[in-house]
Structure 1
Amino acid sequence: MAAKGKMHERTLARESALALLYSSDITESDVAKIVDEGAYPADDLDLPVYAEALVRGVAAHRDEIDGYLSTTSENWALGRMPVVDRGILRLATYEMVFVEDVPVSVTINEAVELAKRYGGEDDSSRFVNGILGRIARRLEKGAEAVADAGRTDGDVEASGSSAESADDPAGDSACSDASPLDGTPETAIAE
């Protein structure tokens, strides 16, 4: 039951963090400064601790996060993305790359839910899912490369066949067919 409460708290914290990132983007203000000055959009509520950690993390790693997004979102410059979608993507990318205790699949699901609720376009959730799915595959490949670098010639690969891993490193293709960016037809996402 404590895990369920923590999950709900983190969901609310992500919403709060998104509100701050949105406010920062719209006003072109430093998000850390907004937090420090206590200019949290919901003045009657305290900023959740996890939201503050997310916001400060995004601010501290924004260049790296934007690098992930720029190289992953083909044909979509960051400035062309709807502000809310960009905030969701920055938040989720930070969580995927830098927060170790949250599974990537949870981060993607939470981001897709935020996009459904607050996204700037009708297909925001598909857009967010596609970009984050690509980042997840990129991170998985990076983890595999690090693991491969530590192996000796006599080591045997523990996970399935390399063909399976190369085609779908996460073990499922739920994220791979949702991208509107790769020129392939969009397919329905199981919800």
Structure 2
Amino acid sequence: MSRRKAREMALQALFQLDYNQTDSNEALGTVFNERAGVAEQTKQYSQELVSGTQSHLGEIDEIIASNSTEWKLGRMAGVDRNITRLAIYELKFAKEQLTPNIIINEAVELAKTFGSDESGRFINGILGALVKNKG
């Protein structure tokens, strides 16, 4: 299983869900169709990330708002917002707890791939504040 691929696919699905009237199965189906040959375990982890993030979305958005003093949630770039949501789900709500440094590093790597030049630093700042403040 590739956790990085799972996170990439989850991010793509979450981005779709953020901007389109669709459900998570349809969004994930679109992503899976674009990526042939992905291991079933990777797909399952991606589904877990999407469903977990969606089920805790209200709480996650409150956490982002309280740790992002300069940016309102609606003004954040969609990619940055969804990478941050995904990382917070993994930090706070995921069944399997990984170390915060791994989760933050993975979020920054996603930002480098899918975001703008400033995305990595922006996401690192929010997640770093969250970990530092323990909430």
For the criterion TM > 0.5, the same-fold answer is yes
**Which has more radius of gyration?**
1
Offset at residue 101 of structure 1 (A): 2.7
Q: Give the % identical residues.
A: 41
Matches within 5 A, 1:1-191: 6=1, 9-29=2-22, 33-35=23-25, 39-44=29-34, 45=36, 48-99=43-94, 100-119=96-115, 121-139=116-134
Amino acid paired to 1:40: T
- Higher-helix-fraction structure: 2
What secondary structure is seen at the aligned counterpart in 2 of 1:43?
helix
What secondary structure is seen at the aligned counterpart in 1 of 2:69?
coil
- What does the per-residue CA deviation read over 1:147-175, in whole Å, with 9 as the maximum and x for residues that have no partner? xxxxxxxxxxxxxxxxxxxxxxxxxxxxx
Find the aligned partners of 1:123 and 1:101 in 2 and give their Cα distance: 28
Moved over 2 A (4+): 36-42, 44-47
Offset at residue 42 of structure 1 (A): 3.7
Find the aligned partners of 1:28 and 1:38 in 2 and give their Cα distance: 13
Root-mean-square deviation (CA, aligned residues, Å) is 1.9
For normalisation by structure 2, the TM-score amounts to 0.87
Offset at residue 39 of structure 1 (A): 3.2
Segments of 5+ residues of structure 1 without an aligned counterpart are 1-5, 143-191
Amino acid paired to 1:39: G
Amino acid paired to 1:107: I
What secondary structure is seen at the aligned counterpart in 2 of 1:130?
helix
Find the aligned partners of 1:94 and 1:37 in 2 and give their Cα distance: 18
Question: Which structure's relative contact order is higher, taking Cα pairs within 8 Å and 6+ residues apart?
Answer: 2
Q: Size of the alignment, in residue pairs?
A: 129
The answer to whether the Cα contact below 8 Å between 2:3 and 2:45 also exists between their aligned partners in 1 is yes
For normalisation by structure 1, the TM-score amounts to 0.62
Find the aligned partners of 1:133 and 1:38 in 2 and give their Cα distance: 29
The answer to whether the Cα contact below 8 Å between 2:60 and 2:88 also exists between their aligned partners in 1 is yes
Find the aligned partners of 1:108 and 1:37 in 2 and give their Cα distance: 25
Segments of 5+ residues of structure 2 without an aligned counterpart are none
Offset at residue 36 of structure 1 (A): 5.8
Amino acid paired to 2:91: M
